[in-house]
Amino acid sequence: MLTMRHIDMIDAPRWRRSHMSEKLANVDLNVLVALDALLAERSVTRAAERLMIGQSAMSSTLARLRRLFDDPLLVRQGRILVPTPLAESLVVPVREALSIVESVLAVRTDFDPTTDQRSFTISASDYIGLVLLRPLLERLNEEAPNVRVNILPINPVGFTDALRRNEADLLILPRELLGTDVGYPYKALFTDRYLVAADRDHPDLGDAITVEQLSELPYLAYRAGAMIGLPENQLDQQQIPRNLQVTVQSFVVAPFLLRGTGLIMLIHEHLGRLLVEEAHLKLLDPPMPLVPLQEVMVWTSRHTADAGHRWLRTRLLELAGEVTASGA
């Protein structure tokens, strides 16, 4: 759809359009890619690492951008670089401009998984990696031998940063972490309830656990930086204390730490069922009501119509249905 700004450009005098064309002709698209990295990272060093170029080359590009916009763009404040007001105003339009270019270059009307070569980057937890992405890789080995998948960890500080920075094509995470204003297309994959996990030979636990035992026994919890796990948030809301003794940053490693200890934890049921034998687990229903989590996949609008991305999302939905049906 044409906006008034587009119409103004169309109706502009020929000399003005010619001037714009000359100015655009003198701008290398790579400069905008560098600007996008600089605005996102706010660090010459990290922006250079992101684009896999030397720091001196990035410094030269920043100097070129400053001349182009007649603005310092990033200024030093103590030990960090902060964007100028002009730079702040450029973040969204630069990202949108590059997204449009990427969409144009990536337009494909069809996708044949048996022959096409594509690369997809998925940001997800190690729990999703084991429960959902491992079956995906198994299917890809048979159905799409030339498709490559890169799996990135979720950023616990900014969950959608990988999408915003164009570092990931797809994000898989609990719906609860997205908040009310998602800003991206998303679709539910599956739900998973929480169980209490302990060593199968735990001396103090039989076939059930009480609220008092859950509060008193040594507790292992997931924690990433300042973020605690979603089930622990629910326990806090119900004012149920824990005897916290161990924290880990891996959902998959956590259950393997229980064996030979008196530790207990809350675990995703699908993960617990998968690891019940290998990790020597006892799985019990929690003694209080806990809301199951809902895993969703999130993507950017520019990938909605792409045939390859549609195929990947459809495959994940199918596998999520199989995971739910199998109970593990």
Find, among 191, 159, 190, the residue nearest to 177 by Cα.
Answer: 159
Please tell me the predicted confidence (pLDDT) of residue 159: 80
Could you tell me if 31 and 151 lie in one domain?
no
- Say whether both 51 and 200 belong to one domain: no
Do 93 and 132 fall within a single domain? no
111 domain residue, yes or no: no
Residue 317: the pLDDT is 96
| Same domain, yes or no: 161 and 224 | no
Q: Are 8 and 101 contained in the same domain?
A: yes
Per the structure, the count of domains in the chain is 3
Cα–Cα distance for residue pair 184/300, rounded to 1 Å: 6
Q: State the pLDDT at residue 1.
A: 35
Residues 187 and 200 in one domain: no
> Is residue 252 a contact partner of residue 227, using CB atoms and an 8 Å limit?
no
Range of the domain at 287: 194-291
Lowest mean pLDDT among 83-87, 127-131, 256-260: 83-87
Please indicate, yes or no, whether residues 9 and 102 belong to a single structural domain of this protein.
yes
Tens of pLDDT, residue by residue over 13-44, are 443 444 444 555 556 678 888 888 898 888 89
Q: What is the mean pLDDT of residues 162-179?
A: 88
Q: What integer pLDDT is reported at residue 4 of this predicted model?
A: 34
Number of Cα atoms under 13 Å in the Cβ half of residue 148: 4
Q: Which one-letter amino acid corresponds to residue 162?
A: A
In the prediction, which pLDDT does 17 show?
42
Q: Does 220 lie in the same domain as 156?
A: no
Is the pLDDT at 110 greater than 80, yes or no?
Answer: no
What average pLDDT does range 184-188 have in this prediction? 93
User: Which residue, among 272, 177, 171, 284, has the nearest Cα to 229 in the 3D structure?
Assistant: 177
**How far is Cα 211 from Cα 213, in angstroms, rounded to an integer?**
5
pLDDT tens digits for range 118-128: 899 999 999 99
Domain-embedded: residue 126: yes
Q: Are residues 163 and 301 in the same domain?
A: yes
Residues 228-259 have pLDDT tens digits of 889 999 999 999 999 999 999 999 999 999 99
301 and 187 belong to one structural domain: yes
pLDDT at 20: 44
Q: Examine the pLDDT at 5 and tell me if it is beyond 60.
A: no
Of 1-10, 45-54, 158-167, give the lowest mean pLDDT range.
Answer: 1-10
Boundary-marking domain end, from 61, 78, 106:
106
Mean pLDDT of the chain: 86
Tell me: do 18 and 94 sit in the same domain. yes
